[in-house]
């Protein structure tokens, strides 16, 4: 069993309310909120006010992915009754331990993400503090990119580390997920699957969600 977190980055922004109620009806579990600042990543998406406009449009919790520099400055803006996870990038946080504690101080789950080129070893000392580790399987900044294959090994390796250390953070994967690789990602140990284009771009949202939840079958 895994949770599906459609990324609204790939949704139709002119009808976001309908899009999120659509993914809820289709059986998705979370709404993945991709926040980009044009500095940490080469693209600007949207901020907290857009996310807050979705409060009450569905009962799905928010899974906030901050691809921004200096996230500490903005974390509080993303706290709502619907916020379940706030994830920051290891690469953007010189004091990641403090940032994780700060996120948790609001009573939400704290996640840390690593880019494809970042080794898992940099997370060693905070793995016992985090609720979630988000493995980026594309270089962040844009939806619709191709899955980077070595991310599968990274997920497997992280699951092994978790087992050997008796920890219980969740493992999430983000970028290039399709009906063709979702099965192997879940097998490798991913428990939260982010999907943007494979949910919203093309076809029917209901059918896309159903197929992803069914591991591509």
Residues that bind ligand DX5 (CB under 6 A): 7, 9-10, 32, 34, 65, 138, 140-145, 174-177, 194-198
Q: Which of residues 108 and 177 has its CB atom nearest to ligand DX5 in the complex?
A: 177
Q: Which of residues 172 and 208 has its CB atom nearest to Zn ion in the complex?
A: 172
Q: Which of residues 117 and 166 has its CB atom nearest to ligand DX5 in the complex?
A: 117
Partner whose footprint covers residue 10, from ligand DX5, Zn ion, none (CB < 5 to 8 Å by kind) = ligand DX5
Give the largest Cα separation in the chain, rounded. Answer: 46
Of residues 75, 125, 62, the one with CA closest to residue 105: 75
Asked if 183 is an active-site residue, the reply is no
Asked if 72 is an active-site residue, the reply is no
State the nearest-atom distance from the C-beta of 122 to Zn ion, in Å.
Answer: 19
State the nearest-atom distance from the C-beta of 74 to ligand DX5, in Å.
Answer: 16
How far apart CA 21 and CA 28 sit, in angstroms, is 10
Contacts of 192 (CB under 8 A, 6+ apart): 2, 3, 4, 5, 29, 30, 63, 132, 170, 171, 172, 173
Of residues 38, 37, 31, 93, the one with CA closest to residue 64: 31
Partner whose footprint covers residue 178, from ligand DX5, Zn ion, none (CB < 5 to 8 Å by kind) = none
């Amino acid at each position: 069993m895994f949770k599906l977190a459609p990324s609204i980055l790939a949704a139709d922004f002119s009808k976001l309310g309908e899009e999120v109620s659509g993914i809820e009806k289709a059986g998705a579990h979370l709404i993945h909120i991709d926040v980009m600042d044009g500095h940490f990543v080469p693209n600007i998406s949207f901020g907290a006010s857009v996310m807050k406009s979705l409060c009450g449009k569905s009962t799905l919790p928010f899974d906030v992915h901050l691809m921004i520099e200096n996230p500490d400055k903005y974390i509080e803006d993303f706290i709502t009754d619907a916020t379940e996870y706030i994830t920051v990038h290891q690469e953007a946080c010189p004091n990641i331990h403090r940032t994780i504690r700060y996120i948790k101080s609001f009573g939400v789950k704290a996640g840390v993400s690593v880019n494809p080129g970042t080794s898992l070893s940099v997370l060693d000392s905070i793995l016992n503090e985090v609720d979630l580790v988000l493995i980026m399987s594309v270089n962040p900044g844009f939806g619709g990119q191709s899955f980077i294959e070595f991310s599968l090994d990274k997920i497997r390796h992280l699951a092994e580390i978790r087992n050997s250390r008796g920890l219980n953070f969740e493992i999430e994967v983000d970028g290039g997920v399709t009906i063709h690789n979702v099965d192997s990602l879940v097998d490798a140990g991913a428990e939260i699957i982010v999907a943007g284009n494979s949910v919203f771009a093309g076809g029917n949202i209901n059918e896309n969600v159903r197929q992803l939840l069914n591991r591509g079958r």
